[in-house]
Structures are given as C-alpha cells and as structure tokens.
Structure 1
Amino acid sequence: MRRAAAAVLAALALASCGKSEAPRVNPAQYERFFLWAGVPPPPAVKHARELYILGGEIRRGGPVRLINMRAGVPHLSGPDVWLTVRTERLDWDAATWDAVRAMLARWRAAGNRLEGLQIDFDAATPGLAHYRAFLEQVRRELPPGTRLSITGLLDWSANGDPVELARLAGLVDEVVIQTYQGRHTIPGYAAWFGHIDSLPIPHKIALVEGGEWTPPSALARDRQFGGYVVFLLKPPSPADRGSRRP
C-alpha cells in the first residue's frame, strides 16, 4: 500500500511539473496599445498600428474639469491615434466639452492621424441606460466626423441588456472590452466570452502587459472582433496597488 501511494504521489508530482504555464502577454507580439501618462513605451510601440493615449482625466469630487495628463501634445506620423479621456463622472459641463474639443483640435493640428475620442469609464452593466444617455450627449458635442470609442467591462456580453447594447451600437464606433483589474488578468475570464460573438458593437479586447491570456474559442466565430489592445504597465509602486491604472 505504501509503495502504491508513493507511486501515485510521484505521478502527480511529475504531472504538475510537466504542466505548462498559461501564456503571458508580450507587447512585442501585438500592434495596438494603451499608453498611459508616465509609462515609458517599450520598443514595440515604435511599430504600433494603433495607439490609445491618455490625454486627460475628469475626476470625481470638486468642480468638473478636464485635467491635462501630458506635458505636451503627441507628434506621431505612423500609427492611428485615439485621444483617451479617463472619467470618473458623467456630469460634464459646457467648459468641459470646450476643453475636450480644444484638446482634439490640438492633437489633430500636430499632424497625428487622429481616429477620434475614446471615453474610458467603468460603466456598470446594470447602468447601461444611464451611460447611453451620456454618450448621446457626447455625440452631439463632438465635432462632425469624430469617431467615438468607449471601454467596456468583461460582463457586458454576458449580462448586458440586449436592447441597451443594440442602442449603444448606433452611438459608438467601437468598444474595447477590458479583461484585467489592476495589473492582473481577471481570473476565469474565459467564462465571460461564451456569447462575445453576440455583442452587436465592433469590439477589441484589452489585455494587460504580462497578464495571462489564452484566446477563448468563441473569438474564432466573432465577426465583430477587431483585435487586441495591450495595456502597458510601469514598475509597480504602493500607490498603484488596487488601481486599474498602470
């Protein structure tokens, strides 16, 4: 009995040693990136096809205002560029809209191939109707011809109201679904992708640098899937822990 038990334990140990670790996200293997303020771009960014660059933040508490997050305006002639505005509130006033339009104009005048504006907001899935009302205002305030991208949570395709998602499809040009929290991939992410091919909005999938990622099988039949965007990280610090920022 002892010899049999020892053999079983040895077999289990060998199996665990032979088990391969989940693949990690290597920026060098991708061509679209989120580039946040203070994050040094890796060499892969030089060959990027598309960049989502944080230009400003609107924070909760106090007066509503757009905070410029960059020392200067980017000057990029190669990749397509999205001006990303990270917001923690939706009660934007006239001065805020003026500031966003002015920032778009400066980025376009600098010679960038500006795709449009991306709104980075953690819209809870049960609150999509409220978020849609805000996005309707965004469309009215943006200059004609400006494309609109938004970020979305992992459970939108699984738990989102199909009616509200269909209405969003008429407002935004794309949604970038985030698969991470902080510096790590959300555990069990594959379970949320069972119905990703039913999401009626053109979408990309955001991965975190160094995070785990194995493509769910549903992506193979997903006609609206437009590729991956890698969220680049900076070295961790105590202030970064628990935040979705790099």
Structure 2
Amino acid sequence: MRRFWAALLGAALVAGCGSREPERVDPADHDAVFLWAGVPSSAVPKRARTVYLLAGEVRADDPGRLVSLRPGTPKGSGMSLWYTVRVERLDWEEGVYARVLADLARWREAGNAIEGLQIDFDAETRGLADYARFLEGLRRRLPRDYDLSITGLMDWSAQGHPAALARLAGTVDEVVIQTYQGRKTIPGYEAYMASLAQLPLPYRVGLVENGEWRPPAGLARDPEFRGYVVFLLTRPQAR
C-alpha cells in the first residue's frame, strides 16, 4: 500500500508539472515491439531484441478454429519471439489449443528463440475471474518451458478484484498494459499508471508508435516494471 500512495503522489506531481511536455514514442528508442499481422517486418527497429508477433485469431463466430494471420514461419535471428493470439471468446475447442501448441513447436524447430505465448483479449475488469479460469486451463496445457503473457487494461489494477488479480499472478508470467486506444495515448494515463503499484505481477507498458508519452515518476523504480513494448503502426519508420 505504501508503494501505491508513493506512486500516486508521483503521478500527481508529474501531471501538474507544465514544464515537461510529452514526447512522441519512437520505436528506434526501444528494444521490444509488437508487430500486427499487417505491419511489415521492415518496421522492426534494429535495436529490437523482443518481438511480439500477432500469429492468429480466435473469432467471436467460431470457437473451434484458429484463423492464421501469419502462415509462414518467422525468422527471428538475434531476438526473442512471442507467439500472440488475438482472442474474442474464451470457450475454445480442443483443436484450437492443439493448433497453437503445434505452431509454437514449429516456430522453435525453425531455430527461433521462443519466449512463449501471449493472449491479447480485452477482458473487462469485472470479468477478470472468468479470464483467470481460462488462463489456468491454458497454462496447464502449455509446456513449462514457455512463458505465458497477456495484454491488459490500465484500470485492472485500480478496479480489479484483489482475488482475481492474485489468480492472474499465479498463472501468467507478465502482463503488457495497454496505454493507448486506436493510434493515440489515452488521456490521463498518469493516474492509472500510479495504481499499477497494486498489480501483483510483472508488467510491461504498451505504448503506441508516435503516441504521446511522459514517463510517470517512479515507474522505472517499480520492481515489477519490466520495460516498454511499442505497438507498431503500418508505416515503416525511417532509418
């Protein structure tokens, strides 16, 4: 609780300081990026060491099929890769689990350094308990040498039930907190970021390329903070 109030005070001080203007997020300044299916690999900055690749989707109209968005096998020389699935429903049929595990094995057999599986699901804060149950079932199927990552909303830590958050902490290895909507940073993110002190698991902060960002006071000192992930847009950045 002491960590929460210290962070909240720091966010208030930063938000009230008019002398520091937000900067634009440049992927070239970061070593972890998220690559949507339509974004060319040429957009990945040279210093990137971790890449989250959107590989497929489980769509609302079909719980029995993984829609492939990246049919080829990536070549992540010199970097770690995450296999990301965009999810619209949680009642997967067993064939979807089998396909995901087979793809992970195929990517690794091709010589890639695979960190693990990431689930991108817009779980409402009030639905975190149901989401935690799904993730527990997924974790049981996932080989232990793969980590499990999820994307998350900023208000999870502020409004999420402590018991549901604790279940997440016992299941996933990290959460990437999304601070943007569409192509813009969500206004007032400083107050949300302060509440991350209540999140009981390691997290990264997801930024949108070219979005405004001013690091909240104390963020870099939070022991659970693991750095940033820049979500790339469709236009490759100039070198």
Query: Who is 1:97 aligned against?
Result: 97
* 8 Å contact kept, 2:209–2:233: yes
Task: Give the TM-score normalised by the residue count of structure 1.
Answer: 0.84
How far apart are 1:67 and its partner, in Å?
A: 0.9
How far apart are 1:43 and its partner, in Å?
A: 5.7
* 8 Å contact kept, 1:193–1:218: no
Aligned length: 218
Query: Who is 1:233 aligned against?
Result: 233
How far apart are 1:164 and its partner, in Å?
A: 1.4
Query: Who is 1:5 aligned against?
Result: none
Query: Who is 1:243 aligned against?
Result: none
How far apart are 1:61 and its partner, in Å?
A: 1.0
- The SS at the match of 1:111 is coil
- The SS at the match of 2:37 is coil
Whole-angstrom CA distance in 1 between matches of 2:183 and 2:86: 17
Q: Which has the higher contact order (CA 8 A, sep 6+)?
A: 2
- The SS at the match of 2:24 is coil
- The SS at the match of 1:114 is strand
Query: Who is 1:113 aligned against?
Result: 113
Q: Does 1:73 align with 2:70?
A: no
Greater C-alpha Rg: 1
CA RMSD across the alignment: 1.7
Name segments (4+ residues, structure 1) moved above 3 Å.
18-21, 41-44
- The SS at the match of 1:150 is strand
Q: Could you tell me which runs of 5 or more consecutive residues in structure 1 were left unpaired when the two chains were aligned.
A: 1-17, 236-246
* 8 Å contact kept, 1:183–1:208: yes
Whole-angstrom CA distance in 1 between matches of 2:114 and 2:103: 11
Q: Give 1:195's aligned amino acid.
A: S
Task: Return 132-141 or 44-53, whichever deviates more.
Answer: 44-53
Whole-angstrom CA distance in 2 between matches of 1:63 and 1:145: 26
- The SS at the match of 1:45 is coil
Correspondence 1:103-142 to 2 at 5 A: 103-142=103-142
* 8 Å contact kept, 1:197–1:218: no
Query: Who is 2:49 aligned against?
Result: 49
Note closer, same or farther for the CA distance 1:42–1:189 as it changes in structure 2 (3 Å cut): farther
How far apart are 1:22 and its partner, in Å?
A: 2.2
Whole-angstrom CA distance in 2 between matches of 1:135 and 1:63: 16
Task: Give the TM-score normalised by the residue count of structure 2.
Answer: 0.86
Q: Does 1:32 align with 2:35?
A: no
How far apart are 1:90 and its partner, in Å?
A: 0.3
Q: Give 2:77's aligned amino acid.
A: S
Correspondence 1:193-212 to 2 at 5 A: 193-212=193-212
Task: Return 35-44 or 115-124, whichever deviates more.
Answer: 35-44
Q: Give 1:58's aligned amino acid.
A: V
* 8 Å contact kept, 2:30–2:47: no
Q: Give 2:116's aligned amino acid.
A: G
Listed one character per residue, the Cα deviations across residues 137-193 of structure 1 (whole Å, up to 9, x for unaligned) are: 101111232210011001111111122111211100000000011111111111101
Q: Does 1:61 align with 2:61?
A: yes
Q: Does 1:162 align with 2:162?
A: yes
